[in-house]
Amino acid sequence: MHILYKNTRVSFTSIGSGPAVVLLHGFLENSSMWNQISEQISKKNRVVCIDLLGHGATENCGYIHTMEDQAEMVKAVLDHLRLRKYILIGHSMGGYIALAFAKLYPNNVKGLCLMNSTALPDSEEKKTNRDRGIVAVKQNHKTFVRIAIPMLFSEKNRTVFTSEIAEITNEALKTSPQGIIAALEGMKIRQDHTAILNNDLFPVLLVIGKQDPALEYATLIGQAKNTKVKVVEFPDGHMSHIENKNELIEALLKFAKQCV
């Protein structure tokens, strides 16, 4: 299915019935990353998967896609579906977008799961790396993608999940250079949303990979300290939906039940 949002074609799927769960994919991903997870969650919930701006079958909307731009687009899809309250589950960049959404529309959120994601903004070092990434994408976006994807897995899993890495890379290669750049620019300027972790309106779940090459474990644990955030830890990397799939599904189903 699709809608036109600001003259931009936005692609999404909606399956199942029950309390709504919205799945937001990460950078270089698209809604296909959720296929096996949505199948399980949709047994008791309505599951909406959205291709974010510049990713999957959704077109680009500008030179920069800020996290707020993405959140407003997500809201337009959910309004189109006439959904009023929902649980947001965001992987990596999808988590940044879920946080921006929760700040803009707190009363629509029933629960928020940050999956291999963080409420902190980019550090100066990370911003510099984003800029380097943008230069690399302009030179050869395919090389950028082929290098980036394996680095999201824990070191040992780069050999364990070779076929999955090949599949994810093929999906990521469908992302246009402009879509990649717009996301890098948007992530670079995102806000600090740590205040949302301690809100009184809805529960928050933080899913952490202890060997996540993209996010520092101690920093993630630090964010949850002295808050009501529930933390689920897995032993592997940034791609919990592959590296720790069954345990993740169990954790997400449990969380969805608690948010009703």
Please state, in angstroms and rounded to a whole number, the distance separating the CA atoms of residues 171 and 54. Answer: 13
Q: How would you classify residue 243: left for phi > 0, otherwise alpha for psi between -120 and 50, otherwise beta?
A: alpha
pLDDT of residue 260: 77
What's the whole-model pTM score?
A: 0.98
The whole-number mean pLDDT for each consecutive block of 10 residues of the chain, a chain of 260 residues, reads 97 98 98 97 98 98 97 98 98 99 98 98 98 98 98 98 98 98 98 96 98 97 95 98 98 95
Half-sphere exposure of 11 (CA within 13 A, CB side): 12
Domain ranges of the chain: 2-258
pLDDT of residue 18: 96
Using only C-alpha atoms, the chain has a radius of gyration, in whole angstroms, of: 17
Residue 82 identity (one-letter amino acid): R
Asked whether 149 and 161 are in contact (CB, 8 A), the reply is no
Topology given in CATH for the domain delimited by 2-258: Rossmann fold (3.40.50)
H or E stretch at 189 = none
pLDDT of residue 156: 97
Quick one: angle between helices 177-188 and 93-104, nearest 10? 60
pLDDT of residue 195: 96
